[in-house]
A = this chain, B = another copy of it.
């Protein structure tokens, strides 16, 4: 399996070969790919930032994109599964929004091709933000004059549409990139950026086989055409204590969307960037610590029992993937005078 993927990667990414490491490790680019039909500009990003933080996009005015993908806490909520409107729990752990712009497909099961497609989902999901329809979202935002004006400025006359809400949010999300991690600084020549333990861990993730899937600049697989997710089966090896302990087969992954047998237990390979800060782990958030997550992955994906020292070194390496969160300006959300657009659902 390892060999197969290394071959595949070789044709897709231009790796930076480093002396002492055979793997194709790459620093995070400063900018993610930007789709031709949604170019970024300052006004669109600002509108997207407002929408991202605006709880009025949820039916009862309590949940914003940022509630679960909190940019103040590493782009996630650090919960097993997220909590939506009316105290409802979601089925999967919220993936970090940071560097999601580098993924070729979104959601744990890759069911959305782009950030734009992804942004449309949670707003209408009954257990997340719970708005009843696209029309209801538009009707609500139309009551907020500054939003109407801003959509027109950014997208032209009649610019307040559900597609454009998603475009603005996606444009903001493409600014949520975390460059300059110790690992990136090391790759760029600062040999002191990594501890000795992290350096051993870097060799181990390749030797053990983690990088067969967690490769590329985002450690989420090779660069692929938009919408073509990089999927892997999880768990691959099921005859171990972890599968039952962490209930790893209750959710059938991509199969739940496609109902195709070949998608059973297939998941989009998640990024390892900032992984030290996004506990708890896995699609169901069942594993609370990073060292245990490393043990689980080694056993379920590579049928390997790591030594304590190996786990420690790999964790040290993973901790070196924590990048710099860009400074965040808090939006001033457009206001309504004399009334509120949310009721008491």
Contacts and interface: CB of A to CB of B under 8 A. Distances in A.
Contacts of A285: 344
A53 interface: yes
Interface stretch (A4-12, A32-40, A55-63): A55-63
A45 B304 CA distance: 49
Contact of A61 (B72, B77, B315, B339): B77
B72 A279 contact: no
Interface in A256-283: 276-277, 279-280
A276 B337 contact: yes
A79 B344 contact: yes
Interface string A302-345: 00000000000001000100100101111111011111111110
Interface stretch (A14-22, A83-91, A224-232, A236-244): A83-91
Interface stretch (A96-104, A118-126, A146-154, A286-294): A286-294
Interface residues of A, number: 54
B339 A290 contact: yes
Contacts of A337: 276-277, 290, 319, 322
Interface of A: 53-56, 60-62, 67, 70-74, 77-81, 83, 85-89, 276-277, 279-280, 285, 288-291, 315, 319, 322, 325, 327-333, 335-344
A21 B53 CA distance: 42
Contacts of A74: 335
B79 A62 contact: yes
Contact of A340 (B72, B86, B279): B279
Nearest to A87: B87
A279 B336 contact: yes
A78 to B, nearest CB: 4
A71 B335 CA distance: 12
A291 B338 contact: yes
Contact of A72 (B81, B83, B325, B332): B332
B72 A331 contact: yes
